Amino acid sequence: GSGEGGDNSKWQFDVDMRKEILAQAVADGELVKNTPIEILTHIIICELYGMMTCWCMSDGVFEPQEYTVEIFNLQIKSPTGILT
């Protein structure tokens, strides 16, 4: 949770949106049927938030776009990945 009295609506919105995207990709045959949507959603969120933190802490020197394709290719598109 977000702690006492905290507002987790942004977190929940991000989680729900990514789950929907992944579920639709499975339904459309873009991802394998046994895609672990729950854990993959949290991996994506953690990577996204981590990249935003790095970008902020580096005063914009770190460029997330330089890494997103590499991360995608390594985790999702690799021969052991889940992309169909």
Q: What are the tens digits of pLDDT across the range 21-37?
A: 999 999 999 888 999 99
Given the structure tokens 């992309």, which residue do they identify?
A: 83
pLDDT computed for residue 66 by the predictor: 83
Give CA–CA dist 16/2, Å, rounded.
16
pLDDT band at 67 (very low <50, low <70, confident <90, very high): confident
Q: What share of the chain is helix, strand, coil (3-state, %, to 5)?
A: 60, 0, 35
pLDDT computed for residue 80 by the predictor: 62
Give CA–CA dist 75/65, Å, rounded.
16
pLDDT band at 58 (very low <50, low <70, confident <90, very high): very high
Q: Answer yes or no: is pLDDT of 14 > 90.
A: yes
pLDDT computed for residue 77 by the predictor: 67
